[in-house]
């Protein structure tokens, strides 16, 4: 049961997903599940299982996740990674995607992007390969964000021009020597 795309991003993700899944065999899609779980008596339940999984996320969450998956697919395209390598995405690919944002946006936002990719895998019955290495990349990205925020706050006068910009910041901007002591 497919719904009508709610945005261009949604349409892009659906098209890419359909293209990727058409290349995967049933066994590849469900490779994390033992073969006995695919018993023919369960086949009549797959539609119901799929419909239930699709409702595991609120529509607002699904919309946000669509954007994260779209950004992931754009990242892959920009780096010449074929669609067939995005679902399932290798842990190395997930780490490359996450680390590309490290120090630029918050670690929490990067984690949310990876969570979006994980939900995309789950919705399409494909095993998610993000594991320990990705966990450490996300921790590192969080730590880089904290340091970048600290340096930004204490290194520049962020007030708009014309506001009390002549008044010195309190505390005074951090110097390179002070930064090295951190």
* Residue-level pLDDT at 147: 60
Residue listed under structure tokens 């590849």: 28
Asked, for residue 165, whether it belongs to a domain, the answer is: no
* Residue-level pLDDT at 156: 56
Q: How far apart are CA 6 and CA 71, in angstroms?
A: 16
Asked, for residue 79, whether it belongs to a domain, the answer is: yes
Q: Looking at residue 171, what DSSP letter applies?
A: S
Asked, for residue 164, whether it belongs to a domain, the answer is: no
Asked, for residue 2, whether it belongs to a domain, the answer is: no
Asked, for residue 3, whether it belongs to a domain, the answer is: no
Asked, for residue 115, whether it belongs to a domain, the answer is: yes
Q: Which domain holds residue 61?
A: 8-32+42-156+170-181
Q: Looking at residue 40, what DSSP letter applies?
A: G
Q: How far is CA 93 from the centre of its chain?
A: 11
Q: How far apart are CA 121 and CA 56, in angstroms?
A: 13
Total domain count, the chain: 1
Q: How far apart are CA 8 and CA 57, in angstroms?
A: 20
Q: Could you write out the DSSP letters of every residue in 80-130?
A: T--GGGBTTBPHHHHHHHHHTTBTTB-HHHHHHHHHHHHHHHHHTT-----
* Residue-level pLDDT at 3: 45
- pLDDT (tens digit, 0 to 9) for every residue of the chain, 182 residues total? 344 444 556 677 777 777 777 666 544 554 444 444 555 667 777 788 888 888 888 988 888 899 999 999 999 999 999 988 999 999 999 999 999 999 899 999 999 999 999 999 999 889 999 999 999 999 999 998 766 555 555 555 555 555 554 444 444 444 445 445 54
Q: Which of 128, 122, 141, 43 is nearest to 94 (CA)?
A: 128
Q: How far apart are CA 91 and CA 82, in angstroms?
A: 15
Asked, for residue 145, whether it belongs to a domain, the answer is: yes
* Residue-level pLDDT at 102: 92
**134: buried, middle or exposed (CB in 10 Å: 19+, 13-18, 0-12)?**
buried
Residues paired with 102 in a beta bridge: 105
Q: Looking at residue 160, what DSSP letter applies?
A: P
Asked, for residue 97, whether it belongs to a domain, the answer is: yes
pTM for this one? 0.64
């Amino acid at each position: 049961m497919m719904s009508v795309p709610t945005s261009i991003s949604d349409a892009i993700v659906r098209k890419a997903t359909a293209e990727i899944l058409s290349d995967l065999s049933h066994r590849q899609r469900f490779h994390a599940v033992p073969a006995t779980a695919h018993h023919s008596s369960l086949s009549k339940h797959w539609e119901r299982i799929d419909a239930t999984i699709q409702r595991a996320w609120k529509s607002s969450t699904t919309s946000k996740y669509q954007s994260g998956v779209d950004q992931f697919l754009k990242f892959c395209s920009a780096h010449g990674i074929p669609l067939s390598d995005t679902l399932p995405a290798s842990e190395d690919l997930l780490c490359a995607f996450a680390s590309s944002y490290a120090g630029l946006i918050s670690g929490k936002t990067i984690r949310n992007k990876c969570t979006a990719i994980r939900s995309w895998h789950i919705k399409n019955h494909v095993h998610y390969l993000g594991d320990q290495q990705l966990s450490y990349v996300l921790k590192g990205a969080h730590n880089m964000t904290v340091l970048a925020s600290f340096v930004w706050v204490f290194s520049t006068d962020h007030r708009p021009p014309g506001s009390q910009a002549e008044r010195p910041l309190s505390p005074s901007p951090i110097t390179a020597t002070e930064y090295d002591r951190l």
